[in-house]
Each structure stands twice: as C-alpha cells, then as structure tokens.
Amino acid sequence: MKAFTVDRYGKKGALRLADLPIPELRDDEVLVEVHAAGVNLLDSKIKSGEFKLILPYRLPLVLGHDVAGVVVQVGPRVQQFKLGDEVYARTDDFRIGTFAEFVPVKETSLALKPKGLTMEEAASIPLVGLTAWQALVEKAKLKKGQKVFIQAGSGGVGTFAIQLAKHLGATVATTTSTGNVALVKGLGADVAVDYKTQDFEDALRDYDVVLNSQDNKTLLKSLRVLKPGGKLISISGPPDPAFGQEIKAPGFVRLVLRMLSSGVRRKAKSLGIDYAFLFMKANGSQLREITRIIEAGAIRPVVDRLFPFAETNAAVAYVEAGRAKGKVVIKLR
C-alpha cells in the first residue's frame, strides 16, 4: 500500500511516500480502506518530535489520526462491524497511520459514519469532536446556563466545540480574527472577541469553563476570566501529574510533567480554580454519541480545504500555517 511516513523527527523534513505492506490485523481490529483522512496539528507535533517524551514512537512511522472509510477485513473477535460498513474513527495512540491506503482500527475506537455526511466531512470529525466531548462533557461537565470560553473559535477544535457547547445549552464566548467573526457567530458563539482589536481578558468575566488551546501566556490570562470554582481545561499543555499517571509514564517523565505544570497549578489553586490537562483518546462509544448529535442536525462539520493524497505534505504545511477555518482533509478515493 502507499503511505506517507516520518523517517526522522524534525520540523523541516517532509513526509516520504513509501510502499509498505498492509498492516497485520489484530483479533480485536478491523481493516479500514481509507477514503479520507483528517489532518491535525497533533500530526505536525509528532513529526517534529515535540511529543517524543509522552509518545515514544518507533520510526519510520505512518502519520495520521482521523479516518473515514470502508471495512474490508474484520478480526475474529470483532462483533459490531462487518465487511462493507462505512465507518470513521480517531485511531489509537501507537496504532495511528491514516495517511495510507489502509489502516487497522480497534473495534472499540470505531463508529459507523454519520448518515448524510460525505467521507471527507466524516474524516474531519473524530479527533476534534472527541477532544471537545472529553473536555466539555467528560471533564468540565458543562451544564445548561453555564458560560464557557472556547479559544480560537475558527480552528478545528473551536468550530466543533462551539456547536457542542451550544447544544449543551451554554453561553459561548470565543476569540477569532476580524474576518472570521461571522463564521463563529454562525456556529453559535454568543460573544466573539476579535483578538486583533481587543483583549479577551478585558471583555470576559466570571466564566465557568475555559477550553485553552493556545500558548502559556494565554493560559495564565485565562485564569483571570474564570470565577472561583471554575475549570480551566488545556489541550495545549502543560501536562499535569494526573496525565503522567494516566499514561503510566516512567518516574522521570512524571517528574518533568509535574515541574512543567507547577506554575499554572499553583496559580489556579490560589484562585480556587481547577486546572486539568487533556490529551484526548480514541473512543468509539463517545463517537457514537457525537454521531447522534450530528444526525439530529445540531452539529455540522466545517471543512476548509481538501487535498488529494499525493499532496499530503502540502496539507500538513497548510495546517502548520495556522490559518485553516475548521478542518483540512486528505481525499484518497
């Protein structure tokens, strides 16, 4: 099969188009013929070596976390899926590889593709959808009537999280550039702070939840828009000790994570705020919940650009540039 691989870590290097054997299927997996693959900033961070400490992959590595496609083979222990099923998933860590013609996916990480979505639209959903779900539903337990601040509203996670928060009945604020105010308002944002002309710290007060996806400076400023008892959930770091335990990291890695997050945890505690780091995980049952909401018409995918498979490197570079509105997707078939 054709696949795009990372041969060595580095920000500059391109992915290499390689001929590889189709991966061997484990008993609890299905083999998916890839029709479309979403591109995420996580792919770039793995390529650059930024996550070597917490995701020690062996190289060469096929990149890609999001897939939509058709089941072409099932393992002997698989019960929920059959040949020909149209499915989508965020593949598991250490089993990624959707920038390829075929990818094995664990049964428990897979869901049937939402009816009414194209393969490309479906491939745009899993990673950002599960990130938003695990942050807002699982960690924040966001309730009707609460106020949530979702940063970078026109990005992949932002466009999904705004819609999910509105579906849950929250009041939503977000940051975006002047040109994307109409987009985020159209998705349901009640307050759109134009970061080119305004500081969100001056505009927002007494929020229940912040979903942070930006740098450390923005993270610390976000503490000041929360009310006591509020929750700051960060998907861009720094990782906290709970995350180290969750991934069963070695002792020295846990120590590093504790040190990296000590400043923000101390500051949050002094303000009576709960800080948590989220590194989203594959989850088929949560994806089925997301499917239900999409099929009910409450959430729509936002796809900025489609790239043919041959232009996978261009797709990754476009995401790295940070200007995508919603998601970027690679089309294979």
State pLDDT tens for residues 233-281: 999 989 999 999 988 889 999 999 999 999 999 999 999 999 999 999 9
Starting at the earlier edge strand, list the strands of the sheet with 2-6: 16-19, 2-6, 61-62
Q: Which tens digit of pLDDT belongs to each residue from 91-117?
A: 999 999 999 999 999 999 999 999 999
Q: Which tens digit of pLDDT belongs to each residue from 280-299?
A: 999 999 999 999 999 999 99
Cβ atoms of 65 and 136 closer than 8 Å:
no
The reported pTM is 0.97
Residues of the chain within CATH 3.90.180.10 domain(s) are 2-125+301-331
pLDDT score for 83: 98
**Measured between alpha carbons, how far is 189 from 317 in angstroms, rounded to an integer?**
28
In one-letter notation, the amino acid at residue 246 is: E
pLDDT score for 66: 98
Token duo for residue 305 = 């650009």
pLDDT score for 332: 98
Superfamily for the 128-277 domain: NAD(P)-binding Rossmann-like Domain (3.40.50.720)
Q: For all residues of the chain together, what is the average pLDDT?
A: 97
Q: Which tens digit of pLDDT belongs to each residue from 110-147?
A: 999 999 999 999 999 999 999 999 999 999 999 999 99
Residues of the chain within CATH 3.40.50.720 domain(s) are 128-277
Whole-number percent of the chain with pLDDT over 90: 95
pLDDT score for 248: 87
Cβ atoms of 152 and 213 closer than 8 Å:
yes
pLDDT score for 10: 93
Is residue 190 over pLDDT 90? yes
pLDDT score for 237: 87
Burial of residue 109, with CB atoms counted within 10 A of its CB: 0-12 exposed, 13-18 middle, 19 or more buried: buried
Give strand pairing partners of 3. 18, 100
pLDDT score for 54: 87
Query: 2-125+301-331 sits in which CATH class?
Result: alpha beta
Dihedral pair phi/psi, residue 14, rounded to 5°: -85, 160
**Measured between alpha carbons, how far is 41 from 47 in angstroms, rounded to an integer?**
10
